Chains A and B, each alone.
Chain A
């Protein structure tokens, strides 16, 4: 069963995923920009795989192309689930 798509659950999964991809945990916040974290398009595809495994929510390249901050990624996942 996929995990419930709550903001808290999504935030934890995104944060853990970004750390797995090489981001320092101390640099993470909702306001942090993907650019400042050196998160590029390949990272976002990997993150989308992690999100889909966990929540069953599918993110395509088009969905994330305008996303700028970590918080926006979290909100996008929550809204796609709803």
Chain B
């Protein structure tokens, strides 16, 4: 009897607000959380949720992960409501870079005042596994726990790996997702230097005028749980993580392979892993970064993997509403995807107006539209592609 993986809790901190509901409600309404060229979580104050001591022992990305995880675990019934031994509950959380602001601050202290000014907290603040460690410590989780680092694919890789851990029988629950808070000096300058970010500060994926991504921050955490056990305890099941596909371009440090062949293979693998075929897919939550290269190669990848089906279904990008949350993107977008399927409505690619030759899918311009496919569960793929050519695709149902 093969083990399946369902989602029993979701939590998010995004530029649209604190909570998973502001994310889906405001994105579905076509709103944007981007201000002055950045998708900052302006409503997020860690001291609303954490003690002073807890807050100062976490970089912002880990603070956001703690808050998103608390929402997700609460929705799943709380750790005390999960009838599993703590060593059967894991925590796998992705990030692109980890605690970059903490690294920058301690580097500055060292230059200005010498080595002795460097904080003993510097390493635990900046390490990429800090979010997973903080969430596990807060909730007393003793199963597989680690960070996943694969640039902008990290959130999706984390969820994919977490689902594998459950399917392999090594855990019954994995608290998993992604977190990123790297809107700080070096990262802003570095992305600008490689001309990856939008000089106009506008995120408009798949639009002919797109000129780069908009940096965002936030966290998305899901409670993944073994299906039979979740049903047996009477948990509310929000959706199912049906399949996972991961490949690497092996092509270029930052540019995607232009024809999207390996991205397409990741999509096909995820669909096949779900035991489905292209015609079963009802919606695509695109990686859709708003960079000239990604949106073109991703469109080609979707056509390659899904064939004619790609032109028949809505394809929209959460990044049009919140910017690019880097290592948190795949997880926040998995939540947005599940909630979109539950509402049976594809939120729009906000700001999409001008088509470009070859970019001819239904990018859901203007406003949300129904996802059509009878009365049963709907199925989506959520794409995440990271620098290094890392491709991670999730196949989700709700």
By a beta-carbon cutoff of 8 Å, the part of chain A in contact with chain B is 21-23, 38, 42, 45-46, 49, 52
Q: A42-B120, A49-B119, A49-B120 are in contact. List 18 more A-B contacts (CB 8 A).
A: A21-B53, A21-B56, A22-B51, A22-B52, A22-B53, A22-B56, A23-B53, A38-B53, A42-B57, A42-B121, A42-B124, A45-B120, A46-B119, A46-B120, A46-B121, A49-B116, A49-B117, A52-B116
Q: Which residues of B contact A42 (CB under 8 A)?
A: 57, 120-121, 124
Q: Which residues of B contact A38 (CB under 8 A)?
A: 53
Q: Which residues of B contact A46 (CB under 8 A)?
A: 119-121
Ordered nearest first, which 7 A-B pairs have the shortest CB separation?
A: A22-B53, A45-B120, A22-B52, A42-B120, A46-B120, A22-B56, A42-B121
Q: Which residues of B contact A49 (CB under 8 A)?
A: 116-117, 119-120
**Nearest CB on A from B120, distance (A):** 4
**Nearest CB on A from B296, distance (A):** 48
User: Taking chain A's interface residues, is the majority helix, strand, or loop, or is none over half, making it mixed?
Assistant: helix
Q: Which residues of A contact B117 (CB under 8 A)?
A: 49
The residue in chain A whose Cβ has the minimal distance to the Cβ of B118 is A49
Q: Mark B45-76, 1 if CB is under 8 A from A, else 0.
A: 00000011110110000000000000000000
Q: Which residues of B contact A21 (CB under 8 A)?
A: 53, 56
A28 to B57, CA, bound (A): 21
A52 to B117, CA, bound (A): 10
Q: Which of B56, B120, B124 has the most CB of A within 10 A?
A: B120
Q: Which residues of A contact B120 (CB under 8 A)?
A: 42, 45-46, 49
Q: Which residues of B contact A45 (CB under 8 A)?
A: 120
Q: Which residues of B contact A52 (CB under 8 A)?
A: 116
A45 to B123, CA, bound (A): 14
22 contacts between A and B (CB under 8 A): A21-B53, A21-B56, A22-B51, A22-B52, A22-B53, A22-B54, A22-B56, A23-B53, A38-B53, A42-B57, A42-B120, A42-B121, A42-B124, A45-B120, A46-B119, A46-B120, A46-B121, A49-B116, A49-B117, A49-B119, A49-B120, A52-B116
Q: Which residues of A contact B121 (CB under 8 A)?
A: 42, 46
A46 to B125, CA, bound (A): 14
A21 to B121, CA, bound (A): 11
A70 to B56, CA, bound (A): 21
A42 to B53, CA, bound (A): 11
Q: Mark B320-354, 1 if CB is under 8 A from A, else 0.
A: 00000000000000000000000000000000000
A46 to B117, CA, bound (A): 10
**Nearest CB on B from A28, distance (A):** 14
**Nearest CB on A from B62, distance (A):** 15
**Nearest CB on A from B119, distance (A):** 7
Q: Which residues of A contact B124 (CB under 8 A)?
A: 42
The residue in chain A whose Cβ has the minimal distance to the Cβ of B119 is A46
Q: Which residues of A contact B56 (CB under 8 A)?
A: 21-22
Q: Which residues of A contact B51 (CB under 8 A)?
A: 22
Q: Which residues of B contact A22 (CB under 8 A)?
A: 51-54, 56
**Nearest CB on B from A34, distance (A):** 13
A49 to B110, CA, bound (A): 13
Q: Which residues of A contact B53 (CB under 8 A)?
A: 21-23, 38
A22 to B53, CA, bound (A): 4
**Of residues 113 to 151 in B, which have CB atoms within 8 Å of A's CB atoms?**
116-117, 119-121, 124
A38 to B56, CA, bound (A): 14
**Nearest CB on B from A2, distance (A):** 14
A21 to B52, CA, bound (A): 8
**Nearest CB on B from A18, distance (A):** 10
